[in-house]
């Protein structure tokens, strides 16, 4: 057995094409404000990618860069202005932030209706209640990837490795929801879970989002299981001096002969995370005008019908 690779890169391209088609029919352009504080190298790359992708699909993105010594009060004041700006439909403050700025305070400051990263407690709470509004981008991308490959979560045993507010926790809530994309029996594991391999070997679906390089190995996977790798670790590439290679939370070489499906790193979940940021921005634009369906259904409707 060799796992079927779950190609997120091509799916992201198809979804972006659909978003571009929809934005072309709008009377004006959805607006996305991307804020970066400081010069963290990874943040520079991520924000540039988000800006480039948003412009490609007809979203009016604007990047604002502030020095690393910016005060929390100054950043909150700028967010307040953007909250009141009718031309801004989505706001994303890139993490990490400098130590003098508290990420939880910033998350609370963003208008929940413009919170395209879904970090506001209101958006997190609505999801926990089974009444989602804006939903985290990476979990949405994973649901899109499952839909693309016709993989139904209903009745499956799912194990989510990691309990972060941006991936693990919302992913577990979405999979357990009474909804077309949910109805799974979900277990969340973390660093203090006992006998982790015994838990994961029971799973039909494993979502690896613990941030530990190649921690998920072949003996942890039930034959034929669906394995989604959310990890992203940059290491020097010994075969290409001066270059980097990307590795995930899954030991791909070992798991590939065991799993039924495996999302690669790179080219799996990563491209879909950026794409679902664009989907969330379009959703917030539509919601501001009183249109659009439930948010998860809105995002999954962007997956091509022939998927």
- DSSP string covering 31-61: EEEEEEES--HHHHHHHHHHHHHHHHTT-EE
Cross-strand partners of 234? 246
**What per-residue confidence (pLDDT) applies to 162?**
97
**Candidate list 16, 94, 124, 177, residue with the active-site label:** 94
Are 109 and 161 contacting, i.e. CB atoms less than 8 angstroms apart? no
Cross-strand partners of 233? 247
Per-residue pLDDT of the chain (307 residues; tens, 9 = 90+): 799 999 999 999 999 999 999 999 999 999 999 999 999 998 999 999 999 999 999 999 999 999 999 999 999 999 999 999 999 999 999 999 999 999 999 999 999 999 999 999 999 999 999 999 999 999 999 999 999 999 999 999 999 999 999 999 999 999 999 999 999 999 999 989 999 999 999 999 999 999 999 999 999 999 999 999 999 998 887 778 878 889 999 999 999 999 999 999 999 999 999 999 999 999 999 999 987 678 999 999 999 875 4
**What per-residue confidence (pLDDT) applies to 306?**
58
Q: Compute, in degrees rounded to 10, the torsion defined by CA atoms 42, 52, 302, 146.
A: -30
Are 282 and 19 contacting, i.e. CB atoms less than 8 angstroms apart? yes
For β-strands 205-208 and 226-229, DSSP reports them as parallel
Q: Which of 15, 305, 264 is nearest to 141 (CA)?
A: 15
Are 50 and 34 contacting, i.e. CB atoms less than 8 angstroms apart? yes
Q: How many whole angstroms separate alpha carbon 288 and alpha carbon 96?
A: 28
- Active site (annotated) includes residue 117: yes
| Neighbour tally for 9: CB within 10 Å | 14
**What per-residue confidence (pLDDT) applies to 241?**
81
Structure tokens at 94: 């890139």
- Active site (annotated) includes residue 50: yes
- Active site (annotated) includes residue 94: yes
**Candidate list 16, 114, 115, 117, residue with the active-site label:** 117
Q: How many whole angstroms separate alpha carbon 135 and alpha carbon 93?
A: 16
Which residue ranges form the domains of the chain, and what is each CATH number?
A: 28-112 (3.40.50.10860), 135-270 (3.40.50.720)
Handedness of CA 250, 254, 255, 256 (dihedral sign): positive
**What per-residue confidence (pLDDT) applies to 232?**
92
**What per-residue confidence (pLDDT) applies to 226?**
98
Measured CA angle at 256 (ends 150, 192), to 5 deg: 90
**Candidate list 16, 50, 114, 204, residue with the active-site label:** 50
Query: Does an H or E element contain 91, and which?
Result: strand 90-93
């Amino acid at each position: 057995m060799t796992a079927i690779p779950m190609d997120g890169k091509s799916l992201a391209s198809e979804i972006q094409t659909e978003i571009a088609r929809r934005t072309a029919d709008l009377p004006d352009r959805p607006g996305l404000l991307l804020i970066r504080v400081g010069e963290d190298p990874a943040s520079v790359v991520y924000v540039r990618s988000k800006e480039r992708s948003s412009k490609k699909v007809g979203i009016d993105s604007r990047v604002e860069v502030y020095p690393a010594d910016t005060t929390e009060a100054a950043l909150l004041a700028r967010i307040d202005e953007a909250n009141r700006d009718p031309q801004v439909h989505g706001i994303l403050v890139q993490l990490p932030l400098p130590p003098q700025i508290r990420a939880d305070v910033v998350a609370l400051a963003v208008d929940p209706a413009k919170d395209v990263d879904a970090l506001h407690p209101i958006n997190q709470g609505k999801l926990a209640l089974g009444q989602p509004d804006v939903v985290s981008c990476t979990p949405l991308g994973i649901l899109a990837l499952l839909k693309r490959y016709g993989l139904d979560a209903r009745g499956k045993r799912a194990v989510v490795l990691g309990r972060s507010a941006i991936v693990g926790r919302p992913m577990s809530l979405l999979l357990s929801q009474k909804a077309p994309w949910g109805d799974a029996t979900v277990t969340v594991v973390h660093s203090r879970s006992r006998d982790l391999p015994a838990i994961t070997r029971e799973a039909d679906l494993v979502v690896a989002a613990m941030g530990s390089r190649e921690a998920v190995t072949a003996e942890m996977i039930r034959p034929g299981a669906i394995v989604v790798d959310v990890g992203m670790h940059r290491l020097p590439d010994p075969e290409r001096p001066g270059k980097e290679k990307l590795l995930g939370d899954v030991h791909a070489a070992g798991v590939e002969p065991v799993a039924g499906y495996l999302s690669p790193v790179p080219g799996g979940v990563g491209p879909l995370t950026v794409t679902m940021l664009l989907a969330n921005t379009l959703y917030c634009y539509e919601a501001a005008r009183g249109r659009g369906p439930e948010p998860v259904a809105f995002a999954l409707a962007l997956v091509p019908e022939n998927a």
